[in-house]
């Protein structure tokens, strides 16, 4: 995989040049994360907001501290900032030169209408004023040609579409493929086990890593299993169902209080395990916040309460067996 990189020396300082929305960060993502110094990322680190322009001074300061630390160690860095102004590039060049590390400018010459369209599609703090995008594009066109950049002092300067020989897509695919093979255990290692992959698919990696599968539990029957998500004493219990929908598809339920417990005038609390189907992190969140609704497929194994049944009329004596029978129907609706 390294051989694909040989056209740029290592170490090297790669400076991406292009207006907002030109695709710099997309190109930068083909380098390992630790090598990419993104000004947006540093703005977010110092201000919690990637687009907070008032944080630019602090962000540049922090970025350069890391940049210099990497230069001292003889490491490659990719500077992901617009760098459409010669003054910004001069600071980067002078710093790289102090450590004797070669520099490469890569122009990302995306047409202005495309940058504007992408910018318009961005929301919140990622949206840049249109005039700013125009000015950045104009500055790039006026000052950033390979010949001019070499005059500025770059050792290499090229348009991004002229970098086919570097095979950046290939570099990215090699890295992603290595990671996926490691996760799946195809590299001879243990990989992530099936249980973790399953949780990832439903809820994402952040949640999957909080999970502990119980060896046995009274809460489930048959091949179903219980898994607990816990962090700092805050936890929720899930059930993995081999057959969640009566059609052989598996799925998860999250344990929630029985809704009849909330009825003040009921004669006593049910206290039974009530289960709510959870197909995503958002389903988990709604259950966590108690924002789920009647009709979400909830069923209580204690009292037989089931969503979509008028609980005044429900047979409160219906046991867990009955509830189990009704379950596929409840979540299919
Ligand atoms: N080669 C490409 N093909 C298709 N879409 C692309 C390509 N490169 C970038 N994009 C898309 O364009 C948008 C902007 O890309 P990106 O975030 O990389 O731009 P940027 O130059 O880093 O912008 P900013 O300076 O605002 O951070 C993204 O939605 C990205 O998915
Ligand atoms: Mg970016």
- Domain edges within the chain: 2-182, 195-332
Band (pLDDT 50/70/90 cuts) for residue 246 is confident
64-73 confidence digits (pLDDT tens): 999 999 999 9
Whose Cα sits closest to atom 25 in ligand 1? 20
Please state, as a whole number, how many other Cβ atoms lie within 10 Å of the Cβ of residue 210: 16
Q: How does DSSP classify residue 306? A: B
By alpha-carbon position, which residue is closest to atom 12 of ligand 1? 23
Q: Higher model confidence: residue 112 or residue 193?
A: 112
Centroid of ligand 1 to alpha carbon of 15 (angstroms):
16
Q: Tell me if residue 238 falls in helix, strand or coil.
A: strand
How many CB atoms are located within 10 Å of the residue 119 CB? 19
Comparing 129-143, 248-262, 281-295, 309-323, the range with the smallest average pLDDT is: 309-323
Burial of residue 215 (CB within 10 Å: 0-12, 13-18, 19+) is exposed
Distance 91 CA to ligand 2 centre (A): 20
In terms of average pLDDT, the best of 88-92, 202-206, 210-214 is 88-92
Query: What homologous superfamily is domain 2-182 in, according to CATH?
Result: P-loop containing nucleotide triphosphate hydrolases (3.40.50.300)
**Cα–Cα distance between 303 and 318 in angstroms, integer?**
6
Report the mean per-residue pLDDT for the chain.
86
Ligand that comes closest to the CA of residue 169: 1
Query: Which residue ranges have their beta carbon within 6 Å of ligand 1?
Result: 18, 20-26, 40, 82, 118
Higher-pLDDT residue of 307, 170: 170
List the structure tokens of 147. 């010949």
Tell me how far the alpha carbon of residue 35 lies from the centroid of ligand 2, in angstroms. 15
Q: How far apart, in whole angstroms, are the C-alpha atoms of residue 172 and residue 28?
A: 10
- How many residues are given for the chain? 333
CA-to-CA distance for 306 and 323, rounded, in angstroms? 8
Distance 175 CA to ligand 1 centre (A): 20
Indicate if the pLDDT at residue 168 is higher than 80.
Answer: yes
Q: What pLDDT was estimated at residue 1?
A: 32
Give the distance (Å) from ligand 1 centre to CA of residue 154: 24
User: What tokens were used for 50?
Assistant: 């990637």
125-145 exposure pattern, b = at least 16 Cβ within 10 A, e = fewer: beebeeeebeebbebbeeebb
Residue nearest to atom 16 of ligand 1 (CA): 23
Structure tokens at 143: 């000052």
Of the candidates 215, 183, 179, the one whose C-alpha atom is nearest the C-alpha of residue 197 is 183
Closest ligand 1 atom, CA of 18? 21
Residues 65, 62: Cα–Cα separation, whole Å: 5
Q: What is the mean pLDDT of residues 50-59?
A: 92
Q: What is the pLDDT of residues 289-308, one digit of tens each?
A: 888 775 678 888 888 877 65
Does residue 282 carry a pLDDT above 80?
yes
How far is Cα 202 from Cα 229, in angstroms, rounded to an integer?
Answer: 14
What does the pLDDT look like over 268-278, one tens digit per residue?
577 778 899 99
User: What's the pLDDT at 183?
Assistant: 81
Bridge partners of 274, per DSSP, are 256, 300
Residue from 16, 19, 21 whose mutation best tests the ligand 1 pocket (most atoms within 8 A of CB): 21
Ligand 1 centroid from CA 96, angstroms? 26
Question: For residues 84 and 109, what is the distance between their CA atoms, to the nearest angstrom?
Answer: 11
Residues 6+ apart with CB under 8 A from 268: none
Q: Are 172 and 190 in contact (CB under 8 A)?
A: no
Residue 321 structure tokens? 């067996």
| Residue with CA at minimum distance from ligand 1 atom 1 | 23
Triad 90, 93, 94: Cα angle to 5°: 85
Full DSSP string of 165-233:
GG-HHHHHHHHHHHHHHHHHTTTSS--S-HHHHHHHHHH-HHHHTTEEE-S--TT--TT-EEEEEEETT
Residue from 18, 19, 25 whose mutation best tests the ligand 1 pocket (most atoms within 8 A of CB)? 25
For the cut 60, the answer to whether the pLDDT of residue 267 exceeds it is no
């Amino acid at each position: 995989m390294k051989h694909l990189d040989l056209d740029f020396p290592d170490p090297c300082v790669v400076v991406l040049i292009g207006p907002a929305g030109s695709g710099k960060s997309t190109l930068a993502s083909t380098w390992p994360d630790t090598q990419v110094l993104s000004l947006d990322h540093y703005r977010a680190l110092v201000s919690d907001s990637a687009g907070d322009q008032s944080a630019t001074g602090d962000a540049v300061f922090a970025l350069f501290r890391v940049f210099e630390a990497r230069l001292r160690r003889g490491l490659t860095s990719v500077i992901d900032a617009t760098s459409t102004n010669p003054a910004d590039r001069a600071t980067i060049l002078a710093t790289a030169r102090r450590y004797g590390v070669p520099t490469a400018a890569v122009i990302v010459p995306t047409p202005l209408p495309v940058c504007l369209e992408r910018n318009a599609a961005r929301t919140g703090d990622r949206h840049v004023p249109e005039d700013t995008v125009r000015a950045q594009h104009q500055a790039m066109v006026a000052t950033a040609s390979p010949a001019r950049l070499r005059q500025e002092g770059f050792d290499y300067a090229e348009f991004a579409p002229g970098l086919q020989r570097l095979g950046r897509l290939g570099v990215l695919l090699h890295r992603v493929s290595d990671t996926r093979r490691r996760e799946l255990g195809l590299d001879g290692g243990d990989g992530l086990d099936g249980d973790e992959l399953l949780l990832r698919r439903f809820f994402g990696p952040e949640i999957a890593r909080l999970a502990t599968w119980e060896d046995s539990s009274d809460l489930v029957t048959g091949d179903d299993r219980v898994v607990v998500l816990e962090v700092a004493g805050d936890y929720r219990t899930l059930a993995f169902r081999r057959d969640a929908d009566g059609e052989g598809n598996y799925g998860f339920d999250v344990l929630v209080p029985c809704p009849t417990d909330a009825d003040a005038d009921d004669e006593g609390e049910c206290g039974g395990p009530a289960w709510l189907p959870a197909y995503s992190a958002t389903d988990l969140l709604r259950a966590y916040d108690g924002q789920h609704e009647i009709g979400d497929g909830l069923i209580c194994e204690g009292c037989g309460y089931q969503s979509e049944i008028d609980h005044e009329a429900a047979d409160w004596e219906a046991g867990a067996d009955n509830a189990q029978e009704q379950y596929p129907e409840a979540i299919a609706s």
